Structure formats: C-alpha cells, structure tokens
Copies of this chain bind each other. A is one copy, B any other.
Amino acid sequence: MLLNEARLKQCMTAAGLDAIIATAPENVTYMSGFWALPQWIRRGPQAYVVWPAPDKGTPEIIASTSTLDLVADQELWVSKVRRYGDFYADVAPSTSADRANMQHLQLRALPRHSDAIGALVAALEEAKLARGRIGIDEAGLAPGYQEALKAHFPNASWMPATALLREVRAVKTTDEIERLGQVAKIAERSIEAALAVAQEGATEADVARAFHVKTVEEGALPVLGCIGFGERSALMNVQPSDRRLRAGEIIRFDVGGRFRHYRADIARIAALGEPPPQAHRLQQALLRGVQHACDIIRPGMAAAQLFETVVRVVKREGIAHYERDHVGHGIGLDGYDAPTLSARSTDILEEGMVLCVETPYYEIGRWGLQVEDMVVVRQRGVERLTQTHDAITRVPL
C-alpha cells in the first residue's frame, strides 16, 4: 500500500479532523491507489478521496463515470466508490469472465451524481459531516468548488489540508520505497545509456533522446530531462538543444522519470575526455557535501541543521563562497515532497523518509556542477537508492 495509514490517522488526530478530502492527483493516488488519467495529464478533471476519521465512516473514491474502468482495473485499497457524470458504453450480449470488465459493469450500475461537487456534497452528507471539521486539499479543487462547499455546509469547519497531506506523504511505506528504488536505478541506467552516445559532435537533443529511450525501455515515463553541455550546463533547467559536444566539456544531467507513478530526481556530471581540473575540484567539494550528509543523516535530525552542515562542508572542501537555498527535498509521487532541507525548514528527519540530497553549483557563463542522490532515512543511517559514483564520469574521447 502506498498510503501510510498510521501516519494519516496521527496527523488527522493532531489536527482534530473528522475527515479529509484529497483532490490533487498525487493525493488521490496516494490515499486510494486510484490513478485517474485525465487528472494527471490535464488541469481541470476532478477525482477525490474522502477519508473520514476511523469512527466517522468509510473512505471512498469519487470518480467520473468515464474513469470507472481505471477504478475497476487498478489495485485499490479503498473499495467504496461514488460516480458522477455520464459516459456511454454498451454491454456485450455475453460478457467474458475478465475481472476488470465485470467490475467495471458493477461500478457503472452505482447511483449517478450529476457532477463532481454534487457527489462530494452527497458523500459528506452521508457521512454526517455537515457540522464536522473537514480538511480539504485545496490544491486540486476546481475554481469555485471550495466556496460552493462552504456555502453548502455553513456549520462545518474547514481547514486547508494540502500541507497536511504533504506531511503524511513524507514518510514512505515499503511499497513506495520499492518503487522509488526502481525509478532511481532506472535514472542511473538511463544516464549510462545517454553517455554511450555522448561523442564529439553529438547534440544535447541526441543525448536526451538516448536518456528518455532507455527510461521508456525500462518501463518508466520521461519527466525531468535537464541535460546541458559546456556553458549551457550553467542553465539550471537546461532543455536539450542542438548544441554540439566538444572535447573537454562538462555534461550536466538533472534528470529522472516516473515509474508506477513515483518520481526520480538525480544529478550526474560527466565530461568528454579530461574534465577541466578546476571543475573536478569544485565537483569534489560538492560530492563531499552530499557524502557527509549521507554519513550523518539520522532520524530526529533537524533538516535545518543538515542544511547548515552540508553548506559548511562544501565551503570547507573548496567552494568558500558556496550559497544555496536548500540542499535537498523529499521525493515520491511528487518531485518535491517533504521534508525540505533548507535553513528555514522546521522539518525533522524521520525513519522512512526518502530524500534527494543535492549540492548544485551554477557558474553562469562557464558551467553547472551538481551532485544529487536519492537515499532512504533508516535508523542507523541512510540506505542509498543510487550507487556511489565518481565526482565526474569521464567519457572516452
């Protein structure tokens, strides 16, 4: 199960919530396993999970009739479903025994609500939440829907809950860590495949194409593909262009796909032939920052303290003027899960968090260097989801 149910209950209790409503795609998938295609590839389509406190009712999924086939075909741990809207489909005279089709038929026979907000109102009424304290994930709700809910339930007390759900998602379950481990390794193997085409005269686009092809071959989908050569590696979000690779140049990867909905985000630096000695020294300092983080990360550590330590190590190891806003973040269904490893962060590391620990360094006009690895916070230290690596990978000329 993706959902950390114990943590959800704990966070809901701490906030005094009678129910919580997930609306953003990552929260709907997280709470129920339901991946609603239209919600993930566009803005606007609505799908929800209503999750009452333990003694206040049964969790349920609210889905458009047009996505009930996905409800039927996916492994969900929320079995109550409410549908809205119409979607025409016929039924074969004699249906096969195929589970997904049978289940789909049953779901289509459920009572129909006219629209998403109508279904949500009905769910809250049925759960007798009209006077409850309700956490609403404001991030995925259609414009105007929050106002409509408040008008319909004037005696309910409403709390914005996007931040609370991000907090719940921060400590990963075994199933989540398994997926994150796979997608991290897919990103590493995709970088390897990309470097196989990083010859003199190859374009950034050529290298990016090889990266994404490998990601797809490994069963993931492309998301993040910042790949830049030479001075273009200093563009933090660099998008692959027709710029050609020359001997001695830096290649920066800040990349990662999505595997079974879970994201990777790692960085690697390579050079075609011998890297400039100065780049090597800088990258060593960045690497020591991340290595030190991996040495000291433990449950109970303040994220802000980790930030201060990593920046201090990078300064000491060779970049005296190093400045960063953050040295990493959580990762999961979203690319920026909690915690945030920054000076202002009030997050405390917990066992089971999955972190991207990173020390990027951009020198505009010259190059961008970066170390970024994915690790799991364990009781006795980190478990690395990415392999140890050299500071700069040398691609033979």
Distance between A86 CB and nearest chain B CB, rounded to angstroms: 6
* CB of A351 closer than 8 Å to a CB of B: no
Q: Do residues A92 and B364 form an inter-chain contact, with CB atoms below 8 A?
A: yes
Report chain B residues within 8 Å CB of A86: 325
Q: Do residues B237 and A366 form an inter-chain contact, with CB atoms below 8 A?
A: no
- Tell me which of A140, A160, A364 has the highest count of chain B C-beta atoms within 10 A of its own C-beta: A364
Q: Do residues B90 and A363 form an inter-chain contact, with CB atoms below 8 A?
A: yes
Distance between A361 CB and nearest chain B CB, rounded to angstroms: 7
Mark each residue of chain A from 372 to 386: 1 if its CB lies under 8 Å from any CB of chain B, else 0: 000000000000000
Report chain B residues within 8 Å CB of A102: 365
Query: How many copies altogether?
Result: 2
From the candidates B42, B226, B336, B365, name the one contacting A101 in the complex (CB within 8 A).
Answer: B365
Which stretch, A13-21, A125-133, A176-184, A210-218, touches the partner chain B? Answer: A210-218
Across the two chains, which residue of chain B brings its CB closest to A26? B43
* CB of A95 closer than 8 Å to a CB of B: yes
* CB of A5 closer than 8 Å to a CB of B: no
Could you tell me the distance between the alpha carbons of A365 and B226 in the complex, rounded to whole angstroms? 44
From the candidates B92, B216, B235, B325, name the one contacting A209 in the complex (CB within 8 A).
Answer: B216
* CB of A72 closer than 8 Å to a CB of B: yes
From the candidates B69, B105, B141, B366, name the one contacting A92 in the complex (CB within 8 A).
Answer: B366
Within 8 A of B (CB), among A236-254: 236-239, 241
Q: Do residues B101 and A364 form an inter-chain contact, with CB atoms below 8 A?
A: yes
Q: Do residues B232 and A98 form an inter-chain contact, with CB atoms below 8 A?
A: yes
* CB of A205 closer than 8 Å to a CB of B: yes
Q: Do residues B236 and A89 form an inter-chain contact, with CB atoms below 8 A?
A: yes
- Tell me which of A72, A98, A232, A238 has the highest count of chain B C-beta atoms within 10 A of its own C-beta: A98
Within 8 A of B (CB), among A31-89: 35, 37-38, 41-44, 66-67, 69-70, 72-73, 86-89
* CB of A91 closer than 8 Å to a CB of B: yes
Distance between A235 CB and nearest chain B CB, rounded to angstroms: 4
Could you tell me the distance between the alpha carbons of A335 and B146 in the complex, rounded to whole angstroms? 26
Within 8 A of B (CB), among A337-392: 361-367
Report chain B residues within 8 Å CB of A335: 41-42
Report chain B residues within 8 Å CB of A104: 234-235, 364
Q: Do residues A90 and B362 form an inter-chain contact, with CB atoms below 8 A?
A: yes
Mark each residue of chain A from 123 to 166: 1 if its CB lies under 8 Å from any CB of chain B, else 0: 00000000000000011110110100000000000001010000
Within 8 A of B (CB), among A196-227: 205, 209, 212-213, 216-217, 219, 221-224, 226
Q: Do residues B95 and A366 form an inter-chain contact, with CB atoms below 8 A?
A: yes
Distance between A343 CB and nearest chain B CB, rounded to angstroms: 12
* CB of A24 closer than 8 Å to a CB of B: yes
Distance between A142 CB and nearest chain B CB, rounded to angstroms: 8
Could you tell me the distance between the alpha carbons of A325 and B212 in the complex, rounded to whole angstroms? 36
User: Which 6 residue pairs of A and B lie closest in terms of their CB atoms, listed nearest first?
Assistant: A95-B365, A92-B366, A69-B235, A138-B143, A92-B365, A89-B362
9 A–B pairs (Cβ distance < 8 Å), ordered by A: A37-B224, A69-B235, A88-B325, A90-B362, A101-B364, A141-B143, A209-B219, A212-B216, A221-B222
